[in-house]
Amino acid sequence: MRKSASRPVTPLSLEKAEIPWLLAVAIATVAPHVSHLPLWLSLLTASVLLWRSGLWRLNARLPSRWLLALVAVTGVAGIGWQFRTLLGRDAGVALLVFFMALKPMEMHTRRDAMVVVMLGFFLLLTHYFYSQSIPTGLWLLASTTLLTATLIRLHGGAQPVRAILRYAGLLLAQAIPFMLIIFLLFPRVSGPLWGLPQDAYSGLTGLSDRMSPGSLDNLIQSGAIAFRVQFSGDLPEKSSLYWRGPVFNDYDGQTWRARPAYLQRTGRAPTIEASGKTYSYVITLEAHNLRWLLPLDLPVSLPDDSALTATLETLAREPVRNRARYAFTSDIDAVANRQESQAMLQQALRLPRALDPQARELAAEWREKFKSPEQISNMALLHFRQEAFFYTLQPPLLGEHAVDDFLFVTRSGFCEHFASAYVFLMRAAGVPARVVAGYQGGEINPVDGYLTVRQSDAHAWAEIWLADRGWVRVDPTAAVAPSRIEQGIEAALPAGDPLPALVRIDADWLRDLRNRWEAANNAWNQWVLGYNPQRQREVLTRLGLKEPDWRNMTAILATLCGLALLMLTVWTLYRRNTATPAQRAWQRLCNRLKGLGIARAGWEGPLAFALRVARERPELGEVTREAAGHFADLHYGSGRPEQLQQLKECIGRLNSLRRNTV
């Protein structure tokens, strides 16, 4: 029997038909980064990939190394100049994107192709630095399928595209049991997994520790979700949904400021007298990089690692830097600080000197005419209600005497204008008062039952201290625009005022679509992104694992993974033993060729194997190509029944050729 001569091992060259798969990998893994890359880098990356695509289409030679080196040095220098460093998250990702675009320009062998594929897998992980949303997850799943399919095409030879993608999907489906087991049982870590320390919390928005005219405007015009609330029982009326955030005591004539956090704990401990009717709920708070937890006013029980300050703010021990869940119980009719310290009351009376003389004069008249703080407060609300005040997000600018300008000139503004002016009038009249910021209202999502509170629900109101009732909430905005409190901000604003499109949705089908999408996002956040150590303990406890620790979880993890592997092995052996007639015929042909000294590698597809047979044994090439074509049609495509007989005839012809070569 004649044996094929041994040949030196050389790197396998890429086929022209394999290049599009690798270019698709580069585009799929790079594309989502365009939203945060500098424009010039996105254009440069796109230009390089288009250049490479053109070279493939024209079957032209790749550029010389010196030209590629020049482009590489220019790109790296530009990235260093843009980010002032080549280290860190943003600069590092930019370098990876640029290298992914450049690598296909020097791609000649299968080894180069493997570098592109492996770089693609690594680059996929970096997308989670910027987004962990459902669309990002779906895109990464599709890209992973493409990467796996590219590996199959590189090592399995030419096959129908549908068959390659189907095989890749099957391989990934086999990994799903292991993924679920590891996700459920692998010990979780606290903190932002997909963030680096120096920039993990950038770009977070929400309430601030200061308030000046216009500071809430940007928040109110945002449709982003601030937090979601799940009540365990009945919900309060919408007009009672005041979510308490920072308390502003210090005023300089333009800006209200909250006391620093380290001073909040030095005051008198708060006393809350509950009325008996309480509401229990869990807040899923979006990251805002501050310490306020925004409970329903007023909380009577707090989550761990939080405390109530002297001004009735609920502060976490550390800033809220990732999405977190907090359980509260609140009493909306509770009495707070019936006995208050003199220092706190004096602070709630301070005003800057020589500012807003008209407002001071008006407050002095009320103080002379009315003796009780309740009457003075009612007179201020009546003033807002009877005079021509307008609620709008586009008020005129205010001057040095901001309160006077608002009360007597512009008379147009939104919640922070009314709250600020009211507190100024109360202090000028000798009534302790302060500004409270937070959120008011919220909208029930009928799909999942969660109350959704958006940034557009940001609100500011006031508190006055009464000797027999403690701190009492007063909302001056309700005197001017009661629909803001009862129905929401969209009902209170004029038609021309800007509001997010998500808030102004009128069509029922659009609102239903939004609710379903937000419910899906909420489930994703609660059970995937929010699967933290606490949630993991809750789930494992429900599954019967008492007091789970890393030892128990590791043992169960190993056991379940072993069972999953055993089941997968049994399934694979079953499929192997249930080969189709076409597979059995093809295997017989491969066995015949092995007897002639040409063994098919496990990774070789039928067409690639036939090409190799034709190169090494030309006399066997024709019958092998014909047999491979029939088998590919039968196994991967929509082959005809008669092709099975033709495949068997090829085996007979091969047997004849084998006898002639012995």
- Nearby residues of 302 by Cβ (< 8 Å), 6 or more positions away: 295, 308, 314, 328
Is 108 tagged catalytic? no
Active site residue 234: no
Assigned token pair, 453: 């509170």
**Selection from 308, 262, 319 nearest residue 286 by Cα:** 319
* Closest-CA residue to 484 (of 109, 220, 271): 220
Cα 465 to Cα 222, 335, 374, distances in angstroms: 33, 11, 10
CA distances from 421 to 67, 216, 218, 413 (A): 67, 15, 20, 11
Q: Are 245 and 292 in contact (CB under 8 A)?
A: yes
Is the sign of the CA dihedral 171, 176, 177, 182 positive or negative? positive
Contact 416, 460 (CB under 8 A): yes
Closest CA to 50 of 122, 104, 129: 104
* Active-site residue, selected from the candidate residues 404, 415, 590, 633: 415
Specify the DSSP class assigned to residue 14: P
In the 3-class helix/strand/coil scheme, how is 205-273 assigned residue by residue?
Answer: CCCCCEECCCCCHHHHCCCCEEEEEEECCCCCCHHHCEEEEEEEEEECCCCEEECCHHHHCCCCCCCEE
What lies within 8 Å, CB to CB, of 240 at 6+ separation is 332
Does 415 participate in catalysis according to the annotation? yes
Q: Are 500 and 221 in contact (CB under 8 A)?
A: yes
Instruction: Please pick, among 459, 590, 630, 650, the residue that the annotation labels catalytic.
Output: 459
From the candidates 475, 590, 633, 650, give the one annotated as an active-site residue. Answer: 475
- Residues taking part in catalysis: 415, 459, 475
